[in-house]
Structure 1
Amino acid sequence: MKKNNYGNNAPSNAIYGLGLIGAAVYFISHATSFWMGLIGFLKALVWPAFLIYEALKAVGA
């Protein structure tokens, strides 16, 4: 019988979740309208992509 190991990713999921909440609060609090707040929420969903892009740009890759 195969055992599922879903608990192995718990720490990384927690960090991503906290980052998602923090990014959503940041982007929405800086929004000047409803639509900018909505775009801020969408940005919060993909914040790791922005982070990796800027990191790779900084190292010249």
Structure 2
Amino acid sequence: MCEKTRKTGSSSDAVYGLGLIGAAIYFISTATTFWMGVLGFLKAIVWPAFLVYEAFRYLLA
């Protein structure tokens, strides 16, 4: 009696994916060196953390 659960994609997955691509393009296009481009890609992966941080800083100031 094992129930199988299946997770389907949600719209938030699509928003995160598009945000990742857009942030990667922005950060890499503004990079001046190869390593700044690598750093830009890493920033693109964690862009929601930057967004939430800035939102809290703005709202709580």
TM-score w.r.t. the length of structure 2 is 0.89
1:3 Cα deviation after fit: 3.8
> Which amino acid in 1 is paired with 2:17?
G
Q: 2:3 — aligned with what?
A: 2
Which structure 2 residue ranges, 5 or more long, are not aligned?
A: none
Counting matched residue pairs gives 60
Task: Give the aligned residue type for 2:16.
Answer: Y
Matches of 1:17 and 1:3, distance apart in 2:
27
Q: CA deviation at 1:5?
A: 3.6
CA separation in 2, counterparts of 1:57 and 1:47?
15
Q: Which runs of 5+ in 1 are unaligned?
A: none
Question: Partner residue of 2:23?
Answer: 23
Tell me the CA shift for residue 10 of structure 1. Answer: 2.0
Identity %: 62
Give the greater-gyration-radius structure (CA). 2
Instruction: Output the CA distance in 1 between the equivalents of 2:33 and 2:10.
Output: 35
In 2, Cα distance between equivalents of 1:5 and 1:60: 39
Specify the SS of the correspondent of 1:6.
coil
Partners of 1:17 and 1:6 in 2: how far apart? Answer: 17
Corresponding residue for 2:47? 47
List, as ranges, runs of 4+ consecutive aligned residues in structure 1 with deviation greater than 2 Å: none
